[in-house]
């Protein structure tokens, strides 16, 4: 049985396993993570292997708070203020690694930066406290797939290959917001569960977007990610026959095919919490496409639209690959 309830006993056992070099899927308030001791390169290698994650894509390291972060990264004034304001919570800061940073180089994928986050989830925090090591944890999905927001989602991704600590559904449902602070400016590397508006109000300046060539520095910005096997049709006002329908808000038209309204009241937080699970469900409906209604682009809508755009790019690439597969076989025969 790979899924264990997050009782005090199992948290203790999982902490010992993590500190000893095993990987364990853990709940956080954003999405489930695939955790490993960040100090242990052999443990971190297992994450890349199980996820089939490209080695050039660095991992987020989870820490209890600012004090621990100081051992790993150079923390500028603005970074410290952001941590004080938003930690624990869904904010990841990419900072310059300290020269004596003991975290495995593999975690940073060869970059001179490190991504740090302090999760706001009881189980994740208890684990960090008990394991007494920083925990590297990317989202617990196979590389390029939808992020998991429940233990069952993780199990569906990996079967009994990994141990999962079940801490209930993730309350926020979208990954953390990632900011780049290694230089003087503050870059929004990934929109996420902490909306841009809250950060800009705190910083009293707009967040910058990384230049195109800088996107290589944050490989998670790959255009195609969060793939469903059903193609997505974005900005749909109404679904067509044989489609599934991901609706949003009170204006959603009625539909007698597979349909989920992310929030009939138009509440973006509710939509975020239901987002990945809803996409998974509609993806399993065997429809020719998933029609997705427009979602407003403010607040959490920015991250939702980012995930939708990348999912659409990924599913169309996958679709083309599938369509091309027979021809490829003929060529190689």
Please, are residues 65 and 118 in contact by the beta-carbon 8 Å criterion?
yes
Q: How many residues bind Mg ion (CB under 5 A)?
A: 1
Interaction partner, residue 111 (ligand TXA, Mg ion, none; CB < 5-8 Å by kind): ligand TXA
Residue number, 277 or 293, with CB nearest to ligand TXA: 277
DSSP line for 228-265: -SSPEE-S-SSPPTTEEEEE-STTPPP-SSSEEES-TT
- By CB under 6 A, tell whether 111 contacts ligand TXA: yes
- By CB under 5 A, tell whether 139 contacts Mg ion: yes
Beta bridge partners of 179: 93, 188
DSSP state of 182: S
Query: In angstroms, how far is the first alpha carbon of the chain from the final one?
Result: 42
Could you give the string, one character per residue 90-109, with x where binding to ligand TXA holds by CB under 6 A and - elsewhere?
x-x-x-------------x-
Which residue minimizes CB distance to ligand TXA? 220
Which residue in 18, 25, 31, 128 binds ligand TXA (CB under 6 A)? 31
Residue number, 139 or 305, with CB nearest to ligand TXA: 139
Which residue in 69, 103, 178, 290 binds ligand TXA (CB under 6 A)? 178
Could you give the string, one character per residue 210-229, with x where binding to ligand TXA holds by CB under 6 A and - elsewhere?
-------xxxx---------
User: Cα–Cα distance between 193 and 264 in angstroms, integer?
Assistant: 20
> Strands, DSSP E only, in the chain?
3-5, 24-26, 33-37, 60-62, 91-96, 113-117, 135-136, 163-166, 177-180, 187-190, 232-233, 243-247, 259-261, 289-292
State the residues that interact with ligand TXA by CB under 6 A: 28, 30-31, 33, 57-60, 90, 92, 94, 108, 111, 113-115, 117, 137-139, 175-176, 178, 189-190, 217-220
């Amino acid at each position: 049985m790979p899924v264990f309830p997050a009782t005090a006993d199992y948290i203790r056992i999982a902490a010992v396993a993590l500190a000893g070099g095993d990987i364990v899927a853990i709940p956080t308030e954003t999405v489930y993570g695939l955790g490993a001791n960040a100090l242990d390169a052999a443990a971190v290698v297992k994450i890349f292997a199980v996820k089939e994650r490209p080695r050039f894509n660095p991992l987020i390291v989870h820490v209890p708070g600012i004090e621990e972060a100081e051992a790993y990264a150079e923390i500028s004034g603005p970074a410290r203020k952001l941590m004080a304001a938003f930690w624990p919570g869904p904010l990841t800061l990419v900072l310059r690694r300290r020269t004596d940073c003991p975290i495995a180089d593999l975690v940073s994928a060869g970059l001179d930066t490190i991504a740090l986050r302090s999760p706001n989830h009881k189980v994740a925090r208890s684990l960090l406290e008990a394991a007494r090591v920083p925990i590297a944890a990317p989202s617990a999905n196979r590389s390029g797939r939808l992020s998991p927001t429940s233990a069952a989602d993780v199990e569906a991704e990996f079967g009994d290959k990994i141990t999962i600590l079940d801490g209930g559904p993730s309350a926020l449902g979208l990954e953390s917001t990632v900011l780049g602070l290694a230089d003087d400016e503050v870059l929004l590397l990934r929109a996420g569960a902490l909306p841009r508006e809250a950060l800009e109000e705190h910083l009293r300046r707009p967040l910058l977007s990384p230049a195109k060539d800088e996107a290589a520095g944050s490989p998670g910005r790959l255009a195609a990610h969060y793939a469903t096997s059903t193609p997505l049709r974005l900005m749909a006002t109404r679904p067509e026959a044989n489609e599934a329908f991901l609706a949003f808000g009170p204006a959603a038209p009625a539909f007698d095919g597979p349909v989920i309204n992310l929030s009939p009241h138009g509440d973006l937080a509710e939509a975020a919490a239901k987002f990945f699970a809803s996409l998974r469900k509609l993806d399993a409906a065997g429809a020719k496409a998933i029609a997705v209604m427009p979602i407003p682009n403010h607040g959490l809508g920015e991250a939702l639209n980012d995930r939708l755009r990348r999912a659409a790019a990924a599913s169309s690439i996958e679709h083309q690959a599938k369509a091309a597969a027979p021809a490829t076989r003929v060529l190689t025969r």
